[in-house]
């Protein structure tokens, strides 16, 4: 997988996570606690965040993503 494609996938995940966070805020204000749309949106956000973390960890573990920290 090319470096630019990796960056696009990560950015797409972050955009969808932020979208769900904004949707949860909107539903919280509009619904005033009468529906569970806020909980569903926040649950999607948590699931996507965990998925992104696991994908990055898997990429680092398999060598697809190269680390470039201060120790390397």
The total number of residues shown for the chain amounts to 72
The pTM score is 0.82
Query: 28-38: per-residue pLDDT in tens?
Result: 999 887 889 99
pLDDT digits (tens, 9 = 90+) for 5-55: 988 999 999 999 999 999 999 999 998 878 899 999 999 999 999 999 999
The token pair that represents 64 in the structure block: 């697809």
Q: Map out the domains of the chain as residue ranges.
A: 3-62
| Residue 69 φ/ψ region, left for φ over 0, alpha for ψ in the -120 to 50 degree band, beta for the rest | beta
Nearest to 56, CA basis, from 9, 2, 4: 9
């Amino acid at each position: 997988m090319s470096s630019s494609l990796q960056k696009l996938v990560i950015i797409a995940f972050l955009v969808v996570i932020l979208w769900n966070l904004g949707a949860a805020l909107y539903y919280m204000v509009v619904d005033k606690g009468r529906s569970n749309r806020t909980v569903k949106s926040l649950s999607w956000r948590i699931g996507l965040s965990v998925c992104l973390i696991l994908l990055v960890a898997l990429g680092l573990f398999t060598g697809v993503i190269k680390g470039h920290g201060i120790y390397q």
